[in-house]
Structure 1
């Protein structure tokens, strides 16, 4: 089987791709505050449709290799990583030590989700 199509790798690739679209749908319009809100909403919905077309298969394939909690955790960590890059390069916002420390705590939480039950 192709490595990119394996149940271990496919959800990661699909979730990264879906998060690129969702971050653009949710935050891309912040540079276009002169546009009417209804237009921004419609464009965002169109972008979000692509996100759903990637996220749903990511979870459908991923459940073969990961628990639902692991898939959700993976999605949240990927979301934060994508958002951090997006906010720096697209929105031109600085990442502060507070952000990094907060993200690190989320990373510690993700570690425990993937570690499995304690004491086993």
Structure 2
């Protein structure tokens, strides 16, 4: 019988893993003067920690979520983390069009969870 922690732990781990991955993919954009080889090496190192969280999150999550649901959870988390990252790390503004686009994606994701 799945417990509350079975439902909550995988998304929490996916949030943490996505923070690492967002920094791995986009964090270097704040430091464009850095050599690309260094950016790639540092990004690869950061991505290691993302995998250390994402792989177990998906393994644990597969006990209570379908694969499509896990992927959908990941994509919604990606949008939320990226939105915060863009504003707070890259100092970029999110526009109404961004919000509408993200909302439409989230609405599409909701259909994956409909019985």
TM-score (norm. length: structure 1): 0.91
Q: CA RMSD in A?
A: 1.4
SS in 2 for 1:9: helix
SS in 2 for 1:115: coil
Give 1:95 shift.
0.6
Give 1:2 shift.
8.3
Where does residue 43 of structure 1 map in the other structure?
A: 42
Mapped to 1, the partners of 2:114 and 2:76 lie a distance apart of 15
Give 1:15 shift.
0.3
Q: Which runs of structure 1 show a deviation greater than 4 angstroms over 4 or more consecutive aligned residues?
A: none
Mapped to 1, the partners of 2:8 and 2:30 lie a distance apart of 34
Give 1:103 shift.
0.6
1:32 aligns with 2:38: no
Mapped to 1, the partners of 2:23 and 2:16 lie a distance apart of 11
Mapped to 1, the partners of 2:96 and 2:81 lie a distance apart of 17
SS in 2 for 1:93: coil
Aligned length: 114
Q: 1:70 to 1:2 in 2, by over 3 A?
A: closer
TM-score (norm. length: structure 2): 0.95
Mapped to 1, the partners of 2:3 and 2:19 lie a distance apart of 23
1:76 aligns with 2:75: yes
The 5 Å alignment of 1:1-120 reads 6-116=5-115
